[in-house]
Structure 1
Amino acid sequence: MRVPSLGFFPSFQGGTVEQGQPLLVMQGIQKSFSGVPALREASLRVGQGEVHALIGQNGAGKSTLIKILTGAYRRDAGTVTFAGQEVNFASPQAAQLGGISTIYQEVNLVGFRSVTENIFLGRELRRGPFLDWGRMNAEARQVLERFNVRVDVTRPLMSYSVAVQQMVAVARAVSFRSRLVIMDEPTSSLDDREVETLFGVIRQLKAEGVSVVFVSHRLDELYAVCDRITVMRDGRTVDERAMVDIGKLELVARMLGKEVGELRREGETAFVRNSGPRGEALLEGHRLQTGGALRGADVEVRAGEIVGLAGLLGSGRTETARAVFGADPLTGGELHVSGRPARWRSPADAIRAGIGFCSEDRKVEGIIPDMSVRENLTLALLPALSRGGVVDPARQAEIVDRFIARLGIKTAGPDQKIRELSGGNQQKVLLARWLCLNPKLLILDEPTRGIDVGAKGEIQALLSELAREGLGVLMISSELEELSEGADRVVVMRDGRSVAELPRAELTQDAIMNAMAHGPGEVPAAGGPA
């Protein structure tokens, strides 16, 4: 695996660092928002040619620390030394010119522009007064092929999957040939093959002396690729050591501020499933088709049941959810909701029938970043809160306060902008948006993607509680452990079809993987002929 080495993206020259001295030192970093501390004496040290893990629960301060380093936020106190020089970048662009590239969890590119335009954004190649499209397209294809991505680079970025968009963002950042590359949850949208490709890139960067800050909530990834680790909690740095010197359970305990023994006891009761009889059939979909994406999906969800949807990227999981919610029109098959035939003209029809949907991409299809927690939480409820076009503020405040308390949303207050919240707390606001409508069925597409183990456990416990109260849940997840431990049944998809259904008694990670590996007709559905 070779890292893209493109001469038209010059390497950063910058200052010099003596042998054995760290490339980056952040000390005593403090930052508050509206008087609420986000960072308190935080620190981070990254060596030259080191892959350094930065972890902590959502809200621990990781993203804030990164944004201070890259100039997106101004620090209140502390010092930052990079490549032997004290720095205070005025903007992310200044940090990029200074030798720091950042890959964000939420793809931070321009969807309606082509792949080529996104890779060359702000550094376009010219031939005289004109843009040199031939050269840019050729070199965009070249850099992406190094990542095993072969796509039409002239098409809009948004026409491709989130995984492809993520790989384009990685290729763009790496091609700057910076001295430090920050990767914030870069694998959250990638399959196993793409993750291995990315790890090959990271190892090659390390071999060339480039440092990497790697943010991930997937502990196995940290041990696979990182040398050292910094743990943050409540805005403070609470630990820093070599990866080989800390085990997984101790690492989680440090993140949560608990003892290892206490964590073991909690792990034994993390998933409490409803073992009682299931209620009425809320959703029945048979042979669902939507153009070429779905070619025969079968799914059923009953009241009080959590049903998982498993499959590789492109298997049709998200397309099934969108079809059930009315976001994509059905071209074939039968859909029944609460025993009645359903043909949605739009998602509004599905919402009126008691269905809610949290999409995979929080940033693009979920939150409205510049609106408050209060406005985001009650967005779908506004018609019921309004009379004559005027919102009842007292009723709105009562609902917002109730769901902030019930879901444990960590916020400075209902009027705080949602973009200032951690990913896990943003996800809780989106869950609350639908729960305040009192739905019968909740569809969740990767509900715990990119959030820490603490917030993940809280959301999983909440889903179990809601199921016990009679809510039906259809959950898409790429994490097989989450499905095997948290679902009552799992429907496995491949190539737009349902290829297996695994009941609770047969639900293991190996069983899900085996079903995903076979095509339609090769794996019998549960109870079917062998």
Structure 2
Amino acid sequence: MTALLEMREITKTFPGVKALDSVNLSVKSGEIHALVGENGAGKSTLMKVLSGVYPAGSYEGEIHYDGKLAEFTDIADSESRGVIIIHQELALVPTLSIAENLFLGNERARGGIINWRETNQRTEALLRKVGLTDPPSTMVDKLGVGKQQLVEIAKALSKEVRLLILDEPTAALSESDSQALLELMLELKAQGVTQIIISHKLNEVRRVADSVTVIRDGSTVSTMDARANPITEDAIVRDMVGRDMADRYPERTRRAGDMLMQVKNWNVFHPLHADRQVIHDVNLSVKAGEVVGIAGLMGSGRTELAMSVFGRSWGQKISGSVEMNGRPVDVSSVDRAIASGLAYVTEDRKSLGLVLDETIQTNITLANLPGVSKSGILNEKSETRVAEDYRKTLNIRTPSVFQQVVNLSGGNQQKVVLSKWLFAGPEVLILDEPTRGIDVGAKFEIYGIINELSAAGKGVVMISSEMPELLGMCDRIYVMNEGEFVGELTAEEASQERIMSLIVTE
């Protein structure tokens, strides 16, 4: 196969930072090419160079596309040549219909009047290609994330895509939606669509990718051909982090102490539908120094449970009790939950965990302003000192704590969220999908932080969709299904098969 895309010696510099250093990438026509690397390695920057977000002249090196030198000036320029990028944060307008989203900026119109019959007919044809049966008039905000991802791909097909770039396409999807998307990628490949996938899920990379290019610290490390020889996850990880990671989970001495937190007979109803009970008589306990997991499929009620316990942030008609160190505590508001010794790291760090336009320093101290204030007046020197301490302790990769959080990689953003809640001084830390969308190196660092918390006698509740993560980190695992705990397993009893059997048989 000939190369559809050649990126040669691409170098991109920002003030004080060389994001890309002579990167080379060759993508053959009709293949699925995976681009992997740690957060901050330069993957997204490279794709922004390719798609014209960073236009020709703002970087060094050359892009050759379809056998010709390409100097894209903006996204519209690259899209006109069939290069379409779908970002991790979907670019759909939720208050418009599927049809309106598909042809936004590319309307089927004559004389300034939209031909809705043609628009809907073409929308139906495109939706069939991606396996969607929803009417073109369906509002996008009525669709789940999995279907929205398919709408984005349909939108790309409407622009006669030749090179489709998918940035973390399955990061927010359920297992079934992820599998459906991967199948679609293979179907598009069979139709001749060349694809680049950026993903931290190495099992998915190995399933669909014909070639894998690894980037580390802004430079190309290796390119592997899966058609010549099977690629192992260990080989990818070794090139990503620059070392072998025989054990993905740091060792920890399991030593549970006295009972720290108990949630008893917890019931929660849906915030909009008062007659719909979502959480049913849940009982949960956490001992000092213990890491307790909650396993379950998407929609099982794990996040709803965590948010309702943390200051009743979700739900209504909540009943039950919470005890800390054997004494009842008031968790009826976020402030009271924090004062009781609880902290909650949300699964949605961008929308709910961080103020993206604010600095690292501001975000770290946000949950405990009294800790850097006196008589209600913020002490900026104290705030900077606290932020610097957490930057060093958690290895947040940034030149300054005054940098806006929006400019950080996903893994470093997650470390800022953790820093914020660690500074609040919790006794029990609830972690909801703490490693979603981050690379194996950053995951290992976060696992180390969790182990340090447990060693210090803190309690950790860990919600994760990745069963190997729960099995590798937890002392006990609760299994949740349809708003109930359907099983409780010790580390010795737990296995992926045992967890799934509890989910499907209870």
Whether the TM-score (by the shorter chain) exceeds 0.5 is yes
CA–CA distance in 1 between the matches of 2:118 and 2:284? 48
- Return closer, same or farther for 1:153/1:393 CA change in 2, 3 Å cut-off: farther
Matched, 1:294 2:273: no
CA–CA distance in 2 between the matches of 1:361 and 1:108? 17
1:507-518 counterparts in 2 under 5 A?
507-518=494-505
| Corresponding residue for residue 44 of structure 1 | 25
CA–CA distance in 1 between the matches of 2:356 and 2:493? 42
Matched, 1:313 2:310: no
Retained in 2: the 8 A contact 1:274–1:304?
no
Deviations 1:406-460 (A, max 9, x none): 1111112112222222111111111111111111222222111111111111111
Shift of 1:353: 2.4
| Corresponding residue for residue 8 of structure 1 | none
Q: Could you tell me which amino acid in structure 2 is paired with residue 84 of structure 1?
A: G
Residue from 439, 444, 447 that aligns with 2:434? 447
Deviation larger for 239-248 or 410-419: 239-248
> Number of residues paired by the alignment?
494
Matched, 1:217 2:200: yes
Residue from 376, 382, 395 that aligns with 1:408? 395
Retained in 2: the 8 A contact 1:293–1:316?
no
Residue from 52, 66, 70 that aligns with 2:47? 66
Shift of 1:28: 1.1
Matched, 1:271 2:245: no
| Corresponding residue for residue 526 of structure 1 | none
Q: Could you tell me which amino acid in structure 1 is paired with residue 19 of structure 2?
A: A
CA–CA distance in 1 between the matches of 2:4 and 2:218? 23
Residue 506 of structure 1 aligns to a residue whose secondary structure is: coil
Residue 441 of structure 2 aligns to a residue whose secondary structure is: helix
Residue 173 of structure 1 aligns to a residue whose secondary structure is: helix
CA–CA distance in 1 between the matches of 2:333 and 2:130? 38
| Corresponding residue for residue 394 of structure 1 | 381
| Corresponding residue for residue 463 of structure 2 | 476
Residue from 364, 367, 375 that aligns with 1:377? 364
- Return closer, same or farther for 1:400/1:241 CA change in 2, 3 Å cut-off: same
Residue from 26, 31, 38 that aligns with 2:7? 26
Shift of 1:173: 3.3
Matched, 1:282 2:268: no
- Return closer, same or farther for 1:393/1:193 CA change in 2, 3 Å cut-off: same
Retained in 2: the 8 A contact 1:288–1:335?
no
| Corresponding residue for residue 467 of structure 1 | 454
Residue from 325, 335, 347 that aligns with 2:321? 335
Residue from 419, 424, 427 that aligns with 1:437? 424
Residue 492 of structure 2 aligns to a residue whose secondary structure is: helix
Retained in 2: the 8 A contact 1:174–1:181?
no
Deviation larger for 460-469 or 172-181: 172-181
- Return closer, same or farther for 1:42/1:464 CA change in 2, 3 Å cut-off: same
- Return closer, same or farther for 1:334/1:456 CA change in 2, 3 Å cut-off: same
Q: Could you tell me which amino acid in structure 2 is paired with residue 23 of structure 1?
A: L
Shift of 1:117: 4.2
Provide the identity percentage: 38
CA–CA distance in 2 between the matches of 1:489 and 1:140? 48
Q: Could you tell me which amino acid in structure 1 is paired with residue 414 of structure 2?
A: Q
Deviation larger for 331-340 or 482-491: 331-340
Retained in 2: the 8 A contact 1:354–1:439?
yes
- Return closer, same or farther for 1:492/1:33 CA change in 2, 3 Å cut-off: same
Shift of 1:233: 0.8
Q: Could you tell me which amino acid in structure 2 is paired with residue 185 of structure 1?
A: E
Retained in 2: the 8 A contact 1:316–1:494?
yes
Residue from 393, 412, 434 that aligns with 1:425? 412
Deviations 1:90-135 (A, max 9, x none): 3333322331111222333344555554444333455876666677
Retained in 1: the 8 A contact 2:330–2:340?
no
Shift of 1:213: 0.4
- Return closer, same or farther for 1:209/1:355 CA change in 2, 3 Å cut-off: same
Residue 357 of structure 1 aligns to a residue whose secondary structure is: strand
1:134-145 counterparts in 2 under 5 A?
143-144=126-127
CA–CA distance in 2 between the matches of 1:349 and 1:153? 46
Q: Could you tell me which amino acid in structure 1 is paired with residue 64 of structure 2?
A: T
CA–CA distance in 2 between the matches of 1:396 and 1:89? 43
CA–CA distance in 2 between the matches of 1:48 and 1:174? 17
Retained in 2: the 8 A contact 1:444–1:476?
yes
Shift of 1:141: 6.3
- Return closer, same or farther for 1:343/1:166 CA change in 2, 3 Å cut-off: farther
| Corresponding residue for residue 16 of structure 2 | 35
| Corresponding residue for residue 53 of structure 1 | 34
| Corresponding residue for residue 273 of structure 2 | none
Deviation larger for 127-136 or 117-126: 127-136
Retained in 2: the 8 A contact 1:279–1:470?
no
Deviations 1:229-250 (A, max 9, x none): 1111111001112024343222
Give the aligned CA root-mean-square deviation in angstroms.
2.7
- Return closer, same or farther for 1:157/1:375 CA change in 2, 3 Å cut-off: farther
Shift of 1:346: 3.7
CA–CA distance in 2 between the matches of 1:374 and 1:422? 16
Shift of 1:217: 1.5
Residue from 104, 114, 118 that aligns with 1:121? 104
CA–CA distance in 2 between the matches of 1:312 and 1:156? 26
CA–CA distance in 2 between the matches of 1:479 and 1:398? 36
Matched, 1:456 2:435: no
CA–CA distance in 2 between the matches of 1:467 and 1:142? 54
CA–CA distance in 1 between the matches of 2:128 and 2:366? 42
Deviations 1:274-303 (A, max 9, x none): 422333332414242222361414433233
Shift of 1:207: 1.7
Residue from 163, 177, 186 that aligns with 1:180? 163
CA–CA distance in 1 between the matches of 2:465 and 2:90? 18
- Return closer, same or farther for 1:153/1:321 CA change in 2, 3 Å cut-off: farther
Retained in 2: the 8 A contact 1:286–1:334?
yes
Shift of 1:51: 0.5
Q: Could you tell me which amino acid in structure 1 is paired with residue 32 of structure 2?
A: V
CA–CA distance in 1 between the matches of 2:108 and 2:335? 45
